[in-house]
């Protein structure tokens, strides 16, 4: 068995699982839990002199109060375009501007909206798990091919299979824990 080659595949597998987990955390951070979060507007793209530009690259986004975001543009001439983009993003708030900054005041979450967010988090979690299971399948396919080509023995393959599953189980536990924490945060905040 070529241990270096196997370790490279295992490392790539771990890296793909970590990327999936990090992506899930990033997606969940964009869901508000009763508090205003700058990540809610960071992904909104505005046509900035012909270039699609995220708001966080053209403004300072701050949280002066628990349920308010303040968007301070560096180029005031873009105020109307940014306001329009925020409206089109359908965040559930109406932006108000005083000619210098944009204020977004988020209302209290209703029970119905909290449940919708919890369902959305469940979907994100399941998608992340599917990506992880696909990564497991891919790395096991590589090891099966190695076994078929007599690069690894039956016993070595069985050990690799257990190692790959253990790695997946560990990441799945982290995914579940993060998902449960976010759902709890949404339902109680």
Tokens of residue 142, six digits: 């590589």
Q: Does residue 82 share a domain with residue 13?
A: no
Q: Which pLDDT does position 112 carry in this prediction? A: 82
The domain containing residue 23 runs over which residues? 3-30+110-188
Instruction: Say which residues have a Cβ less than 8 Å from residue 80's Cβ, sequence separation at least 6.
Output: none
Crossing angle of helices 3-29/154-188, nearest 10°? 10
Q: Which pLDDT does position 129 carry in this prediction? A: 94
CB 156 within 8 A of CB 116: no
CATH number at residue 51: 3.30.1360.40
| DSSP per-residue string spanning 17-77 | HHHHHHHHHHHHHTS-SSS--THHHHT-EEEETTEEEEGGGTEEEEEEETTEEEEEESSGG
Asked whether the CA dihedral 172, 179, 120, 106 is positive or negative, the reply is negative
CATH number at residue 25: 1.10.132.20
Q: Does residue 180 share a domain with residue 116?
A: yes
Q: How many CA atoms lie within 13 A of 65 on its CB side?
A: 7
Q: Does residue 177 share a domain with residue 118?
A: yes
Q: Does residue 97 share a domain with residue 9?
A: no
Q: Does residue 179 share a domain with residue 141?
A: yes
Q: Which pLDDT does position 104 carry in this prediction? A: 84
Q: What is the pLDDT along the chain (189 residues), one digit of tens a residue?
A: 678 888 899 999 999 999 999 999 888 877 766 667 777 777 788 888 888 888 888 888 888 887 788 888 888 888 888 888 888 877 777 888 888 888 888 777 778 878 888 888 999 999 999 999 999 999 999 999 988 888 888 888 899 999 999 999 999 999 999 999 888 888 776
Say how many C-beta atoms besides its own lie within 10 A of residue 1's C-beta.
15
Q: Does residue 178 share a domain with residue 116?
A: yes
Q: Which pLDDT does position 20 carry in this prediction? A: 93
Tokens of residue 83, six digits: 């306001």
Q: Does residue 172 share a domain with residue 154?
A: yes
Q: Which pLDDT does position 1 carry in this prediction? A: 61
């Amino acid at each position: 068995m070529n241990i270096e080659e196997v370790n490279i595949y295992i490392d790539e597998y771990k890296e793909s699982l970590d990327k999936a987990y990090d992506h899930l955390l990033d997606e969940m951070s964009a869901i508000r839990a009763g508090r205003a979060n700058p990540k809610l507007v960071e992904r909104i793209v505005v046509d900035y002199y012909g270039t699609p530009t995220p708001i966080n690259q053209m403004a300072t986004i701050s949280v002066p109060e628990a349920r308010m975001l303040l968007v301070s543009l560096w180029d005031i001439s873009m105020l109307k375009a940014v306001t329009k983009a925020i409206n089109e993003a359908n965040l559930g708030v109406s932006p108000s501007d005083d000619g210098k900054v944009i204020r977004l005041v988020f209302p209290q979450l209703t029970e119905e909206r909290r449940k919708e967010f919890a369902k959305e988090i469940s979907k994100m979690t399941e998608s992340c798990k599917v990506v992880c299971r696909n990564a497991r399948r891919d790395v096991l396919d590589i090891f099966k091919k190695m076994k078929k080509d007599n690069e690894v023995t039956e016993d070595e393959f069985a050990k690799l299979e257990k190692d790959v599953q253990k790695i997946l189980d560990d990441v799945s536990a982290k995914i579940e824990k993060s998902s449960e924490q976010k759902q709890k945060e949404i339902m109680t905040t």
